Amino acid sequence: MNKCLQCTKDIVGRTDKKFCSVTCKNEYNNKLRKLTIKETALIDSYLHRNREILMTIIGSAKQVQLDKLVLIRAKFRFEYHTGHYLNKEGKTYWLVYDFAWMDFSDQKILIVRKTI
């Protein structure tokens, strides 16, 4: 006999049931969602902040080359990105939603706006 994932009571009925009641199911999922939101909220804020920084720097241009120090001073978090892309020359573009950046050297960075 299966046990309820929330309250550990015996479950009566179908063998694939995971909860003894709708209340236990809701409590379990709400608790799980609360933990997930707490963990992802900080990362989401870093990603949105990175996007704001890139958007402010690039303005209406399609691409901008600048010193890496500009991003560092703006508190850009290089370790947070939404993906990466390897071009034909083997250079990696790091993506933050609709923007990307690529290291030219230790000091220079290229920021580009992704086009759909």
Give a yes or no: residue 32 inside a domain. yes
Say which residue the tokens 């939603």 belong to.
97
**Residues 29-40: b if buried by 16+ CB within 10 A, e if exposed:** eeeeeeeeeeee
Give a yes or no: residue 44 inside a domain. yes
Using an 8 Å Cβ cutoff, are 107 and 68 in contact?
A: yes
Share of the chain above pLDDT 70, in %: 99
Give a yes or no: residue 50 inside a domain. yes
- CA–CA distance, 61 with 113 (Å, rounded to integer): 8
Give a yes or no: residue 1 inside a domain. no
Of 11, 9, 12, 4, the residue nearest 28 (C-alpha): 4
pLDDT-based confidence at residue 105 (cuts at 50, 70, 90): confident
Q: Which amino acid would we find at residue 74?
A: A
- CA–CA distance, 50 with 97 (Å, rounded to integer): 10
pLDDT, mean over the chain: 92
SS3 (DSSP) at 10: strand
Give a yes or no: residue 30 inside a domain. yes
Q: How many domains does the chain have?
A: 1
**Per-residue pLDDT tens over the stretch 26-73:** 999 999 888 888 778 889 999 999 999 999 999 999 999 999 999 999
Is a pLDDT exceeding 80 seen at residue 115?
Answer: no
Higher pLDDT: 1 or 9? It is: 9
- Tally of CB atoms within 10 A around 63: 12
Cα Dmax for the chain: 65
pLDDT attached to residue 116 = 54
The range of the structural domain enclosing residue 85 comes to 22-113
Is a pLDDT exceeding 70 seen at residue 101?
Answer: yes
Is a pLDDT exceeding 80 seen at residue 20?
Answer: yes
